[in-house]
Amino acid sequence: MTLKNDPVFTVKVKDLVKIITYFIGMTGFLSVYRHISMVYSLFFVILGIASIYLEHRKSFYLPRWVLNVTALTVILFSIYRLNPEDLVTPVAEGLLILLGIKFLEDKKFRDYMQIYAISLFLLSSAALLSVDIIFSVYLVILIFLLAISMVMLAYYSQKPDLQLTKDIALKIVFKSLLIPLISIPMTLFLFIVMPRTSNPLLDFLNKPGKARTGFSDNFSLGDVTGIQEDNSVIFRANMEKTDENLLYWRGIVLDRFDGTSWRQSGQASKDTVRLAGKKIKQTIFLEPYENKYIFALDKPETIFLKDAKVLNSIIFYLPKDIDRRIRYEAISVLSNLIYEEKIDEDRYLHLPDNISDEIKKLTKNLVTGKEKETGAKVILTYLNSGQYKYSLKNLPLTKKPLDDFLFKYNYGNCEYFASAMTVMLRIAEIPSRIVGGYKGGYYNEIGNYYLVLQKNAHVWVEAYLNKKWTRFDPTPTSTEGFASSPKRNTLFKLKLLMDAINYHWNAFVINYDFEKQIALFSKIKLGLKRPDINLSGVRKYSFIIVIGAVTAFIGYFLFFNKNPVEKRLISSLLRKMARLGYKRHRAQGLEEFLLSISDKRLKQRAEEFVQKFEKRYYRDESFTKEEIKRLKDMLKYLTKK
């Protein structure tokens, strides 16, 4: 009674929230209205006026499901209108209509929050549509309005009919303004700094495109060790499981040796060579590395990749270095032979001047008086029969690495073995070359692919005998470097599982770049558009009916087919009981379950609830609103003292 006579001006917090919310929606609208078509603005204004009118009358609100279905239709319509040239405008227009619809609702706490979110989205789309200083004005206004409104909303949600005097209302407003004032410096930092750094700030989160060492056009003896100490993935090859001894992944071919390093000299196109044998298909996901060569199982016949070129030494490459993850399919012939009628013998017999007499003498001793083929085999046996050990450490990085390897150190990595063999073959007048790539790999059963790591890097030899290139691998096989079946402990299995997930992510998400998605999207849209180009009225209507039915169907599932109230009541009871330590077995009936409760009062209350519940539930009757409320109250009361 005193309030009425009180001259102090009071306001309901409910009204306050409503007014501020309208201002927030207005700010969102103003921020985009210059960029969207007039029709939408007009529509929004009409919706806004309608909702203010309904708000004023207080008695009538449109049923929620009508609004929800309409909103869904709007969303579908804006998706339909999306196009690659302008993604933002249709979204902004759609959002605006959604905002208008939201205003029409009998607003509850979450509706207010949705309105705020939509307004913020509108503002962000305005930022995408134009770079204009006015944007920051809207931003500041919106931030302040949101801060005030959120605080008011907190009061409102506790007590909707709360009355505030002018003084208190102002106090709350000023206090809530402090929130953005404090947070704005931080925001400004993000706002100003973030878009202006040339490198993404959060890049460390997903370490993409890490610079990797890899095979290059020339490498010095000992170089591969650097690669072999790298545990990162070079590629994954999706294919069936194959004999591990055949897992040579061909990358590059090197033919010119200068005593310490190998390089590639010019080569002709592929047409002079011929392959024969069992074919095997692979889909390879190659990680970016610092070169242009692309790998496939020895010997690749075809690689399906745009711009990929091939040389007569059967190596495939791209015009430029591979700087992002690529995917390609390759067909390989599983054979260790390449047929080539005529080769440039001088090139493959070339030896540097500084080859020592000792090597020559050794070779002569090994091959004199033997056929070329036998000679090659003798050299192979000489190298990999055990007197030379495989090692990745303390390699002979000297001026005469081959001599030191053969006569002094007696150990080396695959490069030393392969180089020694090639040089010795050439001394024996057998044309030969070095092939670089990877050997082995871990077969991931989960993803059906070979995981090949940098440390699988390997080089081997090809010798030209009887008009065909034959593969020789002089490196002793019992080496740790390419252990293709490491201890399969749990940790390793977990790693493989993680890698399989990673692989699928790569295969389906990352590789699917945005352009492709847009292209696909346009295709779908084209398909959708086609029917109404030249269709008769009947079919056009049936199309509309189908779309309407689908919308209604989705709407029904989204808004009506929620968990029935019975299920919610029961799961609420069971949750409460579980919190108290009483867990029900799913085969236990409710009353049976309650027998296990030792707390008498709790048991009695729960029994009351269950009996009330069962009376409707097991009679297949639906609950009235009052009953639901009563049951909910009982649940609340369940644990009270």
Partner 1 sequence: MNNIQNDRIDHIIGSLTRFLHGKARALRLSLIAFFSKGHLLIEDLPGLGKTTLAIGLSRALGLNFGRIQCTSDLLPSDITGLSIYNQATGEFEFHPGPIFNNIVLVDEINRATPKTQSALLEAMGEEQVTIEGRTYKLPLPFFVIATQNPAEHFGTFPLPESQLDRFIMKISIGYPSRESEKEILRGGSTRERINSIKPLMDKEDVLRIQREISEGVYVSDKILNYMLDIFEAIRSSRYVYTGLSTRGALALAYTAKTNAYIHGRDFVIPEDIRELADYTITHRVMFREEYENMDKKEVIRSLMQEIAVPA
Contact set with partner 1 (CB under 8 A): 566-567, 570, 585-592, 613-615, 617-620
Q: Would you say 82 or 638 has its CB closer to partner 1?
A: 638
Least Å from the CB of residue 163 to partner 1: 43
Least Å from the CB of residue 598 to partner 1: 19
Token duo for residue 384: 């990999």
Place of tokens 């102002």: 170
Least Å from the CB of residue 585 to partner 1: 7
Q: Would you say 106 or 566 has its CB closer to partner 1?
A: 566
Least Å from the CB of residue 626 to partner 1: 15
Q: Would you say 15 or 607 has its CB closer to partner 1?
A: 607
Least Å from the CB of residue 637 to partner 1: 20
Q: Would you say 429 or 591 has its CB closer to partner 1?
A: 591
Radius of gyration for the chain, computed over Cα atoms and rounded to the nearest angstrom:
38
d(CA 182, CA 20): 21
Q: Would you say 372 or 616 has its CB closer to partner 1?
A: 616
Q: Would you say 520 or 595 has its CB closer to partner 1?
A: 595
d(CA 51, CA 55): 6
Q: Order of strands, edge to edge, in the sheet holding 442-444?
A: 300-304, 326-334, 278-286, 233-238, 449-453, 442-444
Q: Would you say 279 or 567 has its CB closer to partner 1?
A: 567
Between the alpha carbon of residue 439 and those of residues 154, 237, 295, 297, 459, the distances in Å are 65, 13, 11, 9, 8
Between the alpha carbon of residue 73 and those of residues 39, 84, 114, the distances in Å are 17, 21, 18
3-state secondary structure of 4: helix
Least Å from the CB of residue 628 to partner 1: 15
**E strand segments, 407-517:** 411-412, 432-439, 442-444, 449-453, 457-465, 468-472
> Which distant-in-sequence residues (6+ apart) come within 8 Å of 579 by Cβ?
none
d(CA 218, CA 184): 55
Place of tokens 């692309």: 294
Least Å from the CB of residue 556 to partner 1: 22
Q: Would you say 347 or 576 has its CB closer to partner 1?
A: 576
Least Å from the CB of residue 613 to partner 1: 8
Q: Would you say 513 or 591 has its CB closer to partner 1?
A: 591
Least Å from the CB of residue 636 to partner 1: 20
- Cα 441 to the center of its chain, rounded Å: 24
463-487 b/e (C-beta count within 10 Å ≥ 16 → b):
bbbeebbbbbbbbbeebebbeeeee
Q: Do 287 and 234 touch, CB atoms closer than 8 A?
A: yes
3-state secondary structure of 215: coil
What's the CA angle centered on 69, arms 68 and 71, to 5 degrees?
65
Least Å from the CB of residue 629 to partner 1: 19
What's the CA angle centered on 339, arms 336 and 340, to 5 degrees?
135
Q: Would you say 483 or 595 has its CB closer to partner 1?
A: 595
